[in-house]
Homo-oligomer: A and B are copies of this chain.
Amino acid sequence: MSKAVFYHAGCPVCVSAEHTVADCLNTPVEKVHQGEARSRVSEAEKLGVKSVPALVIDGQVFHINHGADLSILK
């Protein structure tokens, strides 16, 4: 089974992607709110995440629309 992590910032663009894409994947998805878990911003960055919302599945990064750049969440 795939490992999926959804990085978001709670913004409307993120919420839409969360409910319509991330929640509809047939694999469990860990959700990380970058505003509340700032220590994980650098983790996301290392994985190649540039902006949120983003879905990382088995190491592949999928930016879904554009809510906020990761840089403003640091």
Q: Which positions 23-50 of chain A face chain B at CB distance < 8 Å?
A: 24-27
Contacts of A27 in B (CB 8 A): 24
Number of interface residues of A (CB under 8 A): 18
- A1-34 to B contact mask, C-beta < 8 Å, 1/0: 0100000000000001100110011110000000
Contacts of A24 in B (CB 8 A): 2, 25-27, 57
Task: With both chains docked as a complex, state the minimum distance between the C-beta of A62 and any C-beta of chain B, in angstroms.
Answer: 5
Q: How far is the CA of A64 from the CA of B17 in the complex (A)?
A: 10
Task: With both chains docked as a complex, state the minimum distance between the C-beta of A9 and any C-beta of chain B, in angstroms.
Answer: 16
Given A25-B25, A25-B26, A26-B25, residue A20 in contact with residue B63 (CB < 8 A): no
